[in-house]
Amino acid sequence: MRQMTNDTTTLNIKEHIILRNFWEYFVTDDDTGVPGVFQAFVMGDENELGDVSEEEIKPYIMLRTKELNGVMPAAGWKWVEDAKA
């Protein structure tokens, strides 16, 4: 897990998903309480934080990883450890 910040908000990111349309999902560790639904910061037509149905995006997943060391943060965000350097 890595922390991603935009200087006003910090999110705990546990997974990164890219869809075939190149939308990126930065999955947080927040529990939605709904099976099959997770919270993510989504970079798509708009950048927003919200609940995502895994079943809805599953057919379109191109890449999926929990190894976040090689992943760039979302646009306008930075990894917390990079912010301290």
What is the distance between the alpha carbons of residues 20 and 3, in angstroms, rounded to a whole number? 25
pTM of the model: 0.92
Q: Along the 85 residues of the chain, how does pLDDT read in single tens digits?
A: 999 999 899 999 999 999 999 999 999 999 999 999 999 999 999 999 999 999 999 999 999 999 999 999 999 999 998 656 5
Structural domains in the chain (count): 1
Q: How far apart are the first and last CA of the chain?
A: 19
Total residues found in the chain within this entry: 85
Domain span including residue 19:
2-84
